[in-house]
Structure formats: structure tokens, C-alpha cells
Amino acid sequence: MRNPFAGLQPALAVICREGKVLPATGQAMEDLMRPDHEEVIDRLRTGDEKVLDVLAEAPNRRPCVELTPLHRTRRHLFRYFLDGSARTFFLGDVVEGNRRSPVHVAQIGAAAVFRKDNGQIKVARVKHRIVLMMDKNAVSFGEKVQELVQRAGPGYAFHDTMEEDGETEQTAPGKEPRSRAAHKAHHLMAKLEDELGRSLERPDGHWLVLDGSLGKDLHAWKNVRHFLGVTKSFSREPVFKLPGARGGKIVNLYELLAGLPFAARTCAYATRAGKAAFWYVRIREQRHLDYPLMGVVKVELPNPAGEAVPSSLIDEISAALVAERQATPHGRDSRWHAHLYPVYLAEQAVKNGFVTRDVLKAGLKWPVAAGGPASL
């Protein structure tokens, strides 16, 4: 079996030669994100508006709209589903004099799946990348390491853990590179998702469902039609002014969603300076769940014109989303209650392309010699 990490061997050899490596116990340890990255990103992109009171739809002015699930046999609205995944491993620290940098390798990927008329799902496109990460400026040979990784080919990438991107420094604040690595990998994964989503060739009317909130750069999608974002883990901070209430009743998110019945949506609010609309849909009955906010997804729809979105379109999208939750990966993910099954399949398409932890440990061993073994 060819070593999938062979392209990193020259760069890792330079790290070994130029600095002293303190390897992680067991060669590689997986680093996880704390806190929930998707929820933090949603909070950042929602902004810091104190009270959300601008409705983004017309003519509906009801706080809650009940729906009839719209199955694909009646109207096959959603055809493409896109998701990504990232796994980050700490390889060890490299020390040069009194300077130090942790060294990480991440597997990132994104996949789009397409659903045929008969309901069968196939992979439309998938992208994988192996990323070497370290604090490039913490050691004198950081530029050389970056250059060697970039020479390895399109399947590899180098990234400076401490480089600012507008989000990682907020999701993982602080000056410790190791605490930022998993968040940085997730940010790079989101960029890969963005690249894949914008490059998909879809017939007009074939909607694309993105897992998570819409990217921060909506302008890059200005020529893309029929897509939306669906978030399973969303910010708990927004406060809303309900329409139709005398004097405008103010409620927090818990009050807004606790009484939302199954197969119903909230009214849609404007966000991102009016360039997007968002609302919440309950896709599972509360009686089967442990917490009122479980079984609810947040939907975000681009609205570049800033005009009111037809309520009929929001109803149709919401009703179709309720129907997407029928099959569920029980026990495979703590967020099962908010999964859309085709999105789950897209995530599995990504993960199936990742190498296992054992292969990673076998392929990345300290010390590393330049031109090391190309097979396992």
C-alpha cells in the first residue's frame, strides 16, 4: 500500500534535521475542537444585533407556520447535498533554541452527493486534502517546510496555524498554536466545501443543500442559484421581536422554539445586512427527544436583492426539509435528531476517503528521513 503521507516526508525530514522533535505519545494524537465550532461560527456570522425584528418574507406575519411534509414523490426539490469533514492529529513539538511550534497534520474533505429520480444517491464530486500545519514563524525553517509541502502536489497543503483568517482567532482565541489547529482545519475544510459547491454544474431548479451556515463571503456565490444552508448546531444568543404581537413581544431563542410544533417553521428574519434570510424548522417531534431545542434546524437562504422572500417559497423549502429527516443514523452521531439523511451520506462519502488512525501512525513516524519509505 502506498503511503498516503509520502508527500509530507521531505518537509517532516527538514523539521527533524533543523529542530529537536518531541513526538506525541503513540506518534499521533487526535485534537478535537472545543467549544462546538459550528455553533460558534453561526454566532459570528449572525452578528451582534441585539434584537432581530426585520422580517425577510411576505406576506406571512405569523410567528409560527404549520406545514405538510413535502416528499420527493410530490416535488423533488433538493437534488444535491454537500458536507465536509476534518480530522486533526498532533504529531509533536519541534523545538529550536528557546522557540517551539506544535506540528499537526489534518485530513480534510468535502463531498457533494446527487439524488436521482428514484431516490438513489450517488457521489457527484469529492475532494480530499492532507494539510501539514505549524507556526511557520516560530522557527527559522518554516518557509522551507512550506515550500516542500507545496511541491508535493495538489493533494497536499501547508498552513500556518497562527495566520489570521477572520474566524479562527475568534473560534479559538489565544496565542497557543495547538489550541487553534483543529479550528484552523475546520476553516480550511469550509473553504474546500465553498470551492466544491460553487463549481458544481447543476440544472436550473436543482437545489443544493449545504451543511452548516452559509459561508462568510456570500458575494463569491452571486452567480450561483438555488442553494441554502442548514445548521444543526446554532447560536443560542439571538433575541427576536415577534410579528403581530401588541407592542412587539420580545422572546429569546428558547421561548421561540420551545412551543414550535413538529412540521412547523418560524417566521423568517433578515440577517447579514439584509442579504440573507433565516428561520427555524422543527423536523422531529419533541416527545421523542430530551431537550426542546433538539429536532430543530436553522435554515439560511441567500437574498442578494434584499427584498422580501415569498412566504410560499419558504413554506416549500421547510416542508421539503421535514421530509428529508425520515431515515436517521441513530447512535452514530450525537446530533442525529437534526440530521438530514442525504447530508449524512455526503459526510460519510468524505470520511470513507480518510485513512485510518493506524495507517496515519504507520505513515508518520519520528524520526523522518528525507526520501523515506513510500509504502506501508
pLDDT in tens, 144-179: 999 999 999 999 999 999 988 877 777 776 667 778
CA distance 354 to 86: 9
CA distance 17 to 70: 61
Q: Is the dihedral of CA 325, 47, 52, 228 positive or negative?
A: negative
CA distance 216 to 210: 13
pLDDT of residue 174: 67
- pLDDT, tens digit, for every residue of 288-315? 666 778 889 999 999 999 999 999 999 9
Rounded (10°) angle between helices 177-199 and 37-46: 70
Cell 412551543, located at residue: 259
Q: How confident is the model over 204-216, as a mean pLDDT? A: 90
DSSP 99: E
- Comparing 327 with 179, the larger pLDDT belongs to 179
Cβ of 316: how many Cβ atoms within 10 Å?
Answer: 15
pLDDT of residue 220: 87
pLDDT of residue 222: 87
CA distance 74 to 322: 14
State yes or no: pLDDT of 78 exceeds 70. Answer: yes
193-228: burial string, b at 16+ Cβ within 10 Å, e else: bbebbeebebeeebbbbbbbbbbbebeebeeeebbb
DSSP 284-337: S-GGGSSSTTTTEEEEEEE-TT-SPEEHHHHHHHHHHHHHTTSS--TTT-TTGG
Largest CA distance in the chain: 74
Lowest mean pLDDT among 3-7, 55-59, 61-65, 327-331: 327-331
pLDDT of residue 376: 44
Residue in 277, 276, 279, 299 with CA at minimum distance from that of residue 219:
276
Grid cell for residue 15: 523539521
Stated as kind and residue range, the H or E segment containing 261 is none
Q: How confident is the model over 43-51, as a mean pLDDT? A: 71
Amino acid residing at 369: A
CA distance 72 to 80: 13
Say whether 129 sits in a helix, a strand or coil: strand
Lowest mean pLDDT among 94-98, 299-303, 333-337: 333-337
pLDDT of residue 239: 93
Q: How confident is the model over 137-149, as a mean pLDDT? A: 95
Look up the pTM and report it: 0.88
Lowest mean pLDDT among 94-103, 170-179, 223-232, 253-262: 170-179
Cβ of 308: how many Cβ atoms within 10 Å?
Answer: 16
pLDDT of residue 375: 43
Q: How confident is the model over 8-36, as a mean pLDDT? A: 79
State yes or no: pLDDT of 234 exceeds 80. Answer: yes
